[in-house]
């Protein structure tokens, strides 16, 4: 695992964990590194001091394990996002309407993703239409 510090076009600073440098390079080239504050993909590595591991780091160090888990969670979230984008149709703001059309058999059943407000998602739930909200999944305008 490797951590980089970033700064986005809006000058938000954040850290991101990657399996290795090659994973960062691949995601960065595809605008896959996003600012968690504003969603900008215009990010650059920020200057950072090298981290030198102490020789006395214990295997059960809870802080180290928390950092590892955070990296694994971020990677898993990115993998979910990629899978949804690869296998489902982006219907954008029309998500609530299209989910209803699929649920009521007006159009062929298929996987979709898009955007819905909290109120729209609650209304879909009340109608018995199953939807899942995914964290940090933003539409990509290409």
The percentage of the chain sitting over the pLDDT mark of 90, rounded to a whole number, equals: 30
pTM score of the predicted model: 0.50
Mean pLDDT score, 45-57: 62
The whole-angstrom separation of Cα 96 and Cα 77 is 23
Number of residues that make up the chain:
142
Summarize pLDDT for 80-128 with one digit per residue, the tens.
888 888 999 999 999 999 999 999 999 999 999 999 999 999 999 999 9
Which H/E stretch holds residue 13?
strand 13-18
Give the C-alpha separation, 1 to 74, whole Å. 12
CB 20 within 8 A of CB 2: yes
């Amino acid at each position: 695992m490797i951590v980089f510090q970033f700064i986005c076009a809006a000058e938000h600073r954040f850290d991101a964990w990657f399996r290795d440098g090659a994973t960062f390079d691949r995601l960065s080239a595809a605008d896959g590194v996003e600012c968690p504050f504003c969603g900008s993909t215009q990010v650059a590595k920020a200057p950072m001091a090298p981290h030198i591991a102490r020789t006395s780091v214990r295997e059960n160090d809870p802080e180290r394990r928390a950092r590892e888990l955070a990296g694994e969670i971020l990677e898993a979230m990115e993998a979910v996002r990629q899978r949804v984008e690869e296998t489902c149709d982006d219907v954008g703001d029309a998500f609530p309407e299209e989910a209803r059309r699929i649920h009521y058999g007006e159009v062929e059943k298929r996987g979709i993703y898009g955007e819905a407000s909290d109120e729209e998602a609650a209304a879909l739930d009340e109608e018995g239409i199953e939807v899942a909200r995914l964290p940090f999944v933003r539409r990509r305008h290409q």
